[in-house]
Amino acid sequence: MYATDGSKVAFSSLRNSGFDIFVMRTPLERRLEETELVYSDYFALRFGLPAEPAEEGTRAGVGVADTISAAAADTSGGLYGEGIEIDFSSYVFEGTYNQEVPTDSTMESMPEITGNVDENGEFLVNRYKLNFTPDIIYGAAGYDTFYGVSGSTIMAFSDMLGDHQIIFVTNLLLDLKNSDYGLAYYYLANRIDWGFAGFHSARFVFLRDVYGESLYRFRTYGGSVSAYYPVDRFRRLEFDLTWYSISKENLDRIEAPIGNRNILVPGFSYVYDTILWGFLSPITGTRYRLNVFGTPKLGRDGLSFVNITGDYRTYLRLGQMTSLAFRFSGGGSFGPNPQKFIVGGVDYWINPTFEGGYIPLDNPEDYIFLQTGLPLRGYNYNARIGSRYALFNMEFRYPLFAFLQAGPLPLGLQSLGGAFFFDAGSAWDNEQDFVAFTKDAEGRTVTRDLLMGMGTGARIYFLVFLLRLDVAWAWNYDSFSAPKYYFSLGADF
């Protein structure tokens, strides 16, 4: 491997019966006295060439035999590798080995491999046979008096070369109509990775309606085709085509009508990613993603919209585990039936609260296409809702300690890190109606549609979970709200 300016070259070479890595400076200015390279003992024996003895000091010859023994050198320290014997009886060089296997070896019980070399001693090349083996098989089952029998299963299979992959997942509850399951196949042999999948899911949500509050089931099934094309090591193009059949059913009121949607959604994404991870989150690099997806109107009651979103993140490393993280994200939904974005809260929130107790799942398609702008700490879920959104996040991340264990039980706290953060964002429908700042009754400048919050938090591994503990205050540019506490799972953005 040459340096770009040609000042040095790195290479590997056999020396003293072993390969080492060397660096040569100014390789292009070297003048060698030798005009012809001398064959090594192995090269001459392998190709039937006359072996010419090398002059003293020109090379270190290595003999080839059933067993290679290092001869003693005429030095006080001895030759490197002196006394080491390497058994080559299981390797194919030029002949057939008939060395007897010791009676106390387990090798004597193994079948002898024959017919794997040709008349020249070369290994035969056979056509590859596809054979799947399990990568992971996991399952669990349970029973309770309310749901009855339930269980989950994850199975993944692949071939030896990793060109084919099959994944099957289930989360069974009551019956197939109320369960989750999916089957996917991925073809990874070429530059373009192809994926084919089928899925079914059922989710249960309590929603406010004309009856007061009812339990609804959102049922989704469909299939998808995806393709991933790597432009280079850091960039890729993604394409997918998914068909959804969605239904919204009131389980408490059987007389209520059932809402249904059948939607075909093509999508395209461009991804750039050069980040490196620390223990808890990305610590350096840049990543961004541009997404475009939508659906043409199918049928008289079909939907028609296009969603365009973007997400840009960059990380400035200030120390070994200290960094500044910046994120800009936003997007919009356009067309006759624009979809909604909500902002406020954090992802994977364990103790969530919704603004006004309202969960914005009015139509069957909302379950699939309602998107979130997170995190925006200091606020509830659904603090703002609209067909456009924008979000800015800034975090200063620092380590506190690497490991803490107290008491005799092996319940340690690992990789405790801290963060100071500032979030700002909003969602709206019409740009003409958006007003970021206004004046209150006393003439002070305060925010109206713009939401801002700041606070501090801790991230820690406990057992197998990465816990996030945050306390945040909403800021209206004039004053702060009461603190709001967030308990959530997963890594930071």
CA-to-CA distance for 365 and 242, rounded, in angstroms?
14
200 and 81, same structural domain?
no
Which CATH number characterizes residue 368's domain? 2.40.160.50
CA-to-CA distance for 295 and 193, rounded, in angstroms?
24
Q: For position 355, what pLDDT does the model report? A: 93
Boundary (domain end) residue, out of 61, 85, 109: 109
Residues 6+ apart with CB under 8 A from 53: none
Ramachandran region, residue 288 (left: φ > 0; alpha: ψ -120 to 50; beta: rest): beta
Residue 177 located in a structural domain: no
Place of tokens 């007061």: 212
91 and 238, same structural domain?
no
Residue 298 located in a structural domain: yes
Structure tokens at 73: 């050198």
Residue 108 has what DSSP assignment? G
Continuous H helices in 189-230: none
Answer whether the bond into residue 399 is a cis peptide, omega within 30°: no
pLDDT digits (tens, 9 = 90+) for 44-59: 776 777 655 545 444 4
92 and 211, same structural domain?
no
Residue 173 located in a structural domain: no
Is the CB of residue 155 less than 8 Å from the CB of residue 167? yes
Boundary (domain end) residue, out of 109, 130, 161: 109
206 and 93, same structural domain?
no
Choose among 10, 40, 48, 47: nearest CA to 27. 10
Choose among 230, 258, 427, 256: nearest CA to 345. 427
| Kind plus residue range of the DSSP H or E element containing 139 | strand 133-144
Q: For position 75, what pLDDT does the model report? A: 45
How far apart, in Å, are the Cα atoms of 281 and each of 66, 322, 454, 493? 53, 11, 19, 7
324 and 448, same structural domain?
yes
Q: Give the SS3 label for residue 107.
A: helix
Residue 53 located in a structural domain: yes
Domain that holds residue 61: 32-109
Backbone angles phi, psi at 276, to 5 degrees: -125, 140
Q: For position 407, what pLDDT does the model report? A: 56
Q: For position 173, what pLDDT does the model report? A: 84
Which residue(s) pair with 56 in the sheet? none
Domains: count for the chain: 2
Going across the sheet that includes 371-373, the strands are 371-373, 341-343, 384-386
C-alpha 416 chain-centroid distance = 22
Cβ atoms within 10 Å, residue 247: 17
Residue 250 located in a structural domain: yes
Q: For position 469, what pLDDT does the model report? A: 95
Give Dmax over CA atoms of the chain in angstroms. Answer: 102
CA-to-CA distance for 460 and 492, rounded, in angstroms?
12
Structure tokens at 121: 């001693």
Is the CB of residue 392 less than 8 Å from the CB of residue 454? no
84 and 201, same structural domain?
no
Residue 134 located in a structural domain: no
Choose among 429, 487, 489, 481: nearest CA to 452. 481
Residues 6+ apart with CB under 8 A from 362: none
Place of tokens 């000042």: 7
Boundary (domain end) residue, out of 77, 109, 141: 109
Residue 127 located in a structural domain: no
CA-to-CA distance for 391 and 423, rounded, in angstroms?
8
Residue 50 has what DSSP assignment? P
C-alpha 142 chain-centroid distance = 30
Residue 374 located in a structural domain: yes
Q: For position 81, what pLDDT does the model report? A: 61
Q: Which residues of the chain have pLDDT under 70?
A: 42, 46, 50-83, 88-110, 146-147, 402-415
pLDDT digits (tens, 9 = 90+) for 15-31: 777 788 888 888 888 77
Q: Give this prediction's pTM.
A: 0.74
CA-to-CA distance for 453 and 391, rounded, in angstroms?
12
Structure tokens at 32: 């060698």
340 and 199, same structural domain?
yes
Structure tokens at 158: 């692949």
Torsion, Cα 18 19 21 23, to 10 degrees, reads 90
Q: For position 412, what pLDDT does the model report? A: 53
